[in-house]
Copies of this chain bind each other. A is one copy, B any other.
Amino acid sequence: MRTVHILPLVGALFLPLTMASRAQGEGDARSVSPIYGVSLPEGYRQWELIAPALEGEPLNELRAIVGNRTAIDAYRSGTLPFPDGTVLVKLAWKRTPSQEFEPAAIPGAATTVQVMVKDSRRYAATGGWGFGRFIGGKPVDEVQHRTCFACHEARVKGHDFVFTRFAP
């Protein structure tokens, strides 16, 4: 005697995914970066590793840079500039001494997640890149976002404004 309404169920299942996809670069004001409108991309924690890195004092962080399919393909084929649709995400954690193996340091608390999105038209004024810096899933303020491109432009213009190289 029970009637199962499939369509609302399907809608409920797909709605979050649709919203998340739309949020990438376009999403609602709460979750996107100032200036650039960049959001945390869906599923980035599962993306392929480009390289780890270590950030010294004062931040003292272990980092891992991952990329979407477009990014990885560009790295593997040596394509520069990176094509539109490239998304790079840098995860960061406090560098913490291992309690189990003295010479080692391991990830402690997560700190920031930083995103670069390539869209050569939308972000023409900043080398084709949009930037987002997130703490606890929320974008930091506009003042911090004003510093992104200036540093990338000054230091890695010759590598399409991207610091990270692929670790073989």
Contact = CB atoms under 8 A, between A and B. Distances in A.
Contacts of A53: 52, 62, 98, 104-107
A56 B98 CA distance: 11
A51 B52 CA distance: 9
- Size bracket of the A interface: 35 or more
Interface in A24-83: 45-46, 48-49, 51-57, 59, 62-64, 66
A110 interface: yes
B163 A100 contact: yes
A104 to B, nearest CB: 5
A93 B167 contact: yes
B52 A101 contact: no
A155 interface: yes
Interface string A152-168: 00011000000111011
Interface of A: 45-46, 48-49, 51-57, 59, 62-64, 66, 91, 93, 95, 98, 100-101, 103-107, 110, 155-156, 163-165, 167-168
18 contacts: A48-B48, A49-B66, A51-B64, A53-B62, A53-B98, A53-B107, A54-B54, A54-B95, A56-B104, A57-B103, A64-B64, A64-B167, A91-B167, A98-B163, A101-B155, A106-B165, A107-B167, A110-B168
